Chains A and B, each alone.
Chain A
Amino acid sequence: MRGSLNKSSLIGWQFVLLPSALILLFSFFPMVQSFILSFESGKGNVSEYVGLGNYSRLLSDPMFRQALFNTILYLIVQVPIMLFMGLIIAHLLNSPKLKLRGFYRTAIFLPCVTSLVSYSVLFKSIFAVDGIFNKLLMNLHIINEPIAWLMDPVWARVVIILAITWRWTGYNMIFYLSAMQNIDPSVYEAASIDGASKFRQFFSITIPMVKPIILFTAIISTNGTLQLFDEVVNITNGGPGNATMTISQYIYNLSFVYTPNFGYAATVSYAIVIIVAILAFLQMKIGGEKK
């Protein structure tokens, strides 16, 4: 233990040095730069220092409030549904009695390998006015007139939530499945001998055992939902009105669709950073290990 910088740790530092330098240069430096940028406002290259002006504008910006509302709505409706479905499916697929397990696992995971844009376009055409979903409902005589799903603020949001749930449930399911496979079967055996029902086993054994993974997926999904962009842009482009616009799309609009105001766009990005940090902190507090 003599000499803290012995040979092996020196080699270790050499390995760490390059990635650290790259992370500093390409990740932390832009973060600081964009933070400085968030105190400026203007058009394109003509911008000036406005102090906290952008932040006070943010608080009274109805467009931002709308985008925030939409994003949080997706978050509180979609994430719990998706995670719970992921858990149930993982539990079912974990059953040793199930035949064709490999097939089901692949089928449920498959949406995750499709490109975000292509599945969005698919959902858009399914829910178009003369899309297949309206045809189906009309052939089943559930509705008489086709419904313009993507033009109704409520239904448009439902379609977005459906789409992301379809895309991401399998992804979370894989995490749960691998966690469940690490649970010793003898625990379940002992529980059934004690007379615990399957239902009871799921809630009292499976869920507590995979709790760290649930926390992990919850944070990942929260983060992902707050950055939601591709689906909304491709399915509804934020419409009808601005009923489905997300914060990310608003940032994009501020920089590339509207007269570019990069300073204000950076401010909105920092709003996401703060929200993600707060939510992650809350989730750790609620779901994390109590020490």
Chain B
Amino acid sequence: MGVLDYFKSIPAMTAEEVRQFITEKHPDDYNLVDVRQPREYEIDHIPGANLIPMAELKDRLDEIDPGKPTIVY
């Protein structure tokens, strides 16, 4: 990934929007991905989140259902 990629606008949701989204939807209707390190996940994570540390993401794309919206934190 190039430096310029950081300047592209990335689709985002506020934490409040995410909370509302999760409350209204069934856990099967979206992917919720925690890309932090296992140690961070251990301390706290959003319930139901799938832990895929950033460094492993590109090798574990098959764990994310492309047919569903995805929230990353």
Whether A and B are associated in the same complex: the answer reads no
Footprint of A on B, CB under 8 Å? none
